[in-house]
């Protein structure tokens, strides 16, 4: 990281689902309402849980169902994780740039933009891409196992890659484990101080 004393703000590459927005609570509640099931988010322990816990034969069928819920996708009304939004706002007030980097299907883009607006996420930069490692940031925060690996491989010497620890991911060489938003806030503060020299 190369920052001057004047410019101490960092570019923070923030994933949404599983990090800021509680996707598993959202889809399990929607599934329960549609099919009379009794799923709870705590049952999601692997990346394949949508198949393991439901009747869908493959992920294409799951996403087809997730696409339409009363004119919106399942992404539209997700609840934020506790303190996620407040921490993002505080980080922005501290001078850091929030760069939202999320892998979403095309049909979820408008719902995601509305969700970001509803929750007043203070960002001027949003990337809808599976190639998250191609978006240059100083610090990354993600929970997807493959994304964390790719980010760590691509930015081992140029950025801090954080794995948001969840039951569905494992430690990754070159990535720093983060367990909650308070821990991430402290990590960014330390990185900012180092960047300032």
Q: What is the CATH number of the domain that holds 105?
A: 3.40.50.1000
Look at residues 94, 114, 111, 134 and name the one whose alpha carbon lies nearest to residue 13.
134
Total domains in the chain come to 2
Determine the length of the chain: 197
- Assess whether 55 and 102 both reside in one domain: no
Give a yes or no: residue 82 inside a domain: yes
Give a yes or no: residue 53 inside a domain: yes
Contact 161, 182 (CB under 8 A): no
- Assess whether 96 and 178 both reside in one domain: yes
pLDDT digits (tens, 9 = 90+) for 62-113: 999 999 988 899 999 999 999 999 999 999 999 999 999 999 999 999 999 9
- Assess whether 62 and 50 both reside in one domain: yes
Own/partner long-range contacts of 156-162 (Cβ < 8 Å, ≥24 apart):
158/1, 159/1, 160/187, 160/191, 162/187
Q: Which domain holds residue 164?
A: 11-21+78-195
Give a yes or no: residue 124 inside a domain: yes
The pLDDT-based confidence of 120 (bands split at 50, 70, 90) is very high
């Amino acid at each position: 990281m190369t920052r001057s004393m004047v410019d101490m703000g960092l570019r923070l590459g923030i994933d949404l689902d599983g990090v800021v927005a509680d996707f598993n609570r959202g889809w399990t509640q929607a599934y329960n309402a549609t099919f009379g099931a009794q799923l709870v988010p705590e049952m999601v322990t692997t990346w394949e849980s949508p198949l393991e816990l439901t009747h869908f034969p493959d992920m294409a069928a799951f996403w087809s169902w997730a696409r339409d819920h009363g004119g919106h996708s399942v992404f539209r009304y997700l609840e934020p994780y506790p303190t996620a939004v407040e921490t993002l706002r505080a980080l922005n007030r501290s001078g850091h740039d929030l760069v939202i980097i999320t892998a979403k299907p095309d049909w979820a883009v408008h719902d995601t933009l509305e969700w970001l607006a509803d929750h007043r996420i203070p960002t001027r930069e949003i990337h809808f891409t599976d190639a998250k490692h191609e978006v240059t940031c100083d610090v990354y925060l993600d929970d997807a196992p493959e994304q964390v690996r790719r980010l760590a491989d691509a930015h081992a010497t140029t950025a801090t890659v954080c794995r948001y620890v969840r039951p569905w991911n494992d430690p990754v060489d070159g990535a720093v484990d983060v367990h909650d938003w308070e821990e991430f806030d402290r990590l960014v503060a330390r990185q900012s101080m180092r960047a300032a020299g």
